[in-house]
Structure 1
Amino acid sequence: MTAMISVLVIDDHNMLRGALCEILDRESDITVVGQAADGRSGIAQAEQLYPNVVILDVEIPGEDVVTTLLRLRAVSPDTRVLIVSVHQDMGLIRELVECGIAGYLHKSARRETLLSAIRTADSDGEVIVYVSWQEDRRSADGNRDGSPDQALTARELEVVERVASAMSNRQIANALGITEGTVKRHLRNIFQKLGAVSRLDMVNRATAAKLIVPYPPE
């Protein structure tokens, strides 16, 4: 029998939080063990419940999201935190990734994407970053199956940034502590996800989607 994934939802929008909890409770392997409208009460519940996954809105009353995240990790170290937001500030996303989040989802993500992210978070998989432009591109391409594999991972974002700074595959491998073969695998995945046909096209698409900040001309 599959183990249940316990989830705590922290979001100050009562209607959205309630709807999200209803969606999650319909899944046979997910159970909502608590919900909160602010960071303080969410942290208190996490300390008592030790959920597998916390879904945390970026903009909640009280302390800033980074402080809330760090306090959550302090009271329940094994809990994986999945951030949801209507914003896609890549600077904030990188800061949260460095603080140990399991993923960052734009609120435009489909139900299937959210469920996949929760299951990936519980399995301690690679950090997933999913922003709104990916949903728009799938709709334009006529791909409406809600497949979650269009999301770039944190590692793939690191590769894109280094390609944008004109680093070779070998230089990227050395910088990230991985093999050149792994760099090539990441690039193939990124090309497919962005619909890019060259390294320059990949960088241009990533820049247009605000996944990376372009370097100023010298």
Structure 2
Amino acid sequence: MAVPSRSETDGDPIRIIAVDDHSLLRDALCQLIEAEDDLTVVADADRTQGLAELVERTAAQVVLLDVEIPGSHAPTVVAELTDRFPALHVLMLSMHGDTQLVQELLARGARGYLHKSVPRESLLAAIRNAVARDPQLTIALPSSGIHGSGFAAPEQQRLSPREREVLTLAAAALSNRQIANRLNVAEGTVKRHLRNIFEKLGAVSRIDAVNKARDAQLIPRP
């Protein structure tokens, strides 16, 4: 059974699986979600074994997955889920802000990474954003000195996955034409993405955009 896309389920609650080995946190998470009319928890689990079968059985659209479940390697779990269910959206929850792990999880197909201390509204917004027609990656990490809330700058939530791809390739010194060939898009599309990136990051050049993106942990450093 394929995971339904949002267009196939417009008007229906977003179907969510919560996976966390701490029962109190998992129960609280489920209660928070169930209080929303447009969200529903179709299953919860304390381990990742059998998670793919659970996704298939429940036709879940979003999996909220704790990064630190014992006996589980989160990047492998994410890759297996997203390979088997391309329309599935996996959001990672963690008590840690390991940026290298964040990059690995996003590269494996996770659609977001949120620290467990994020406000309730941020978590709910991340779930809704994940199934939007033009979803964007959501990253909320503790970060000293960045904004009063202590979380990563909003630019991290505004760059689309494609814009990140373009900027990562630009950081590798590829030309617009080379980026277009790599992504199998028109060169004009690459230029449009770069214009959008410059505007979102307040950058004045490719180098400026790359530096700002690296400082904000949007793309990996070399």
What's the CA shift for 1:123?
4.6
Corresponding residue for residue 165 of structure 1? 172
Which amino acid counterpart does residue 105 of structure 1 have in structure 2? Y
1:92 aligns with 2:104: yes
1:155 aligns with 2:167: no
What's the TM-score once normalised by structure 1's chain length?
0.74
Distance across 2 between alignment mates of 1:165 and 1:78: 29
Q: Secondary structure at the match of 1:211?
A: coil
Cα separation, partners in 2 of 1:106 and 1:51, compared to 1, 3 Å: same
More helix by share: 1
How far 1:186 sits from its partner (Å)?
2.0
Residue segments in structure 1 that go unaligned for 5+ positions in a row: 141-145
Q: Deviation per CA, 1:74-107: give whole Å up to 9, x if none.
A: 886764323334333254134312xxx4x02222
Q: Give 3-state SS (helix, strand or coil) of 2:42's partner.
A: strand
Give unpaired runs (5+ residues) of structure 2: 1-9
The aligned residue for residue 92 of structure 2 is 83
> What is the TM-score with the length of structure 2 in the denominator?
0.72
CA distance in 2, matches of 1:75, 1:165: 30
Structure 1's 178 and 136: CA in aligned 2 closer, same or farther, altered over 3 A?
farther
Give the corresponding residue for 2:74: 65
Whole-Å Cα distance in 1 between the matches of residues 165 and 199 of structure 2?
16
Q: Go from structure 1 to structure 2 and tell me whether the alpha carbon gap of 1:163 and 1:130 turns closer, same or farther (over 3 Å shift).
A: same
Q: Deviations over 1:23-64 (max 9, x none)?
A: 211211101122222212645543542322211122212231
Of 155, 167, 179, 2:186 maps to 179
Q: Does 1:105 align with 2:113?
A: yes
| Structure 2 match to 1:11 | 20
Deviation at 1:213, TM superposition (A): 3.5
Identical pairs, percent: 40
CA distance in 2: counterparts of 1:16 and 1:137, whole angstroms:
27
Q: Is the 8 A contact 1:106 1:132 kept in 2?
A: yes
Q: Structure 1 residues 5 and 91 mapped into 2: Cα distance closer, same or farther (>3 Å)?
A: closer
Partner of 1:116: 125
Secondary structure of 2:99's partner? coil
Instruction: Provide the alpha-carbon RMSD of the alignment.
Output: 3.6
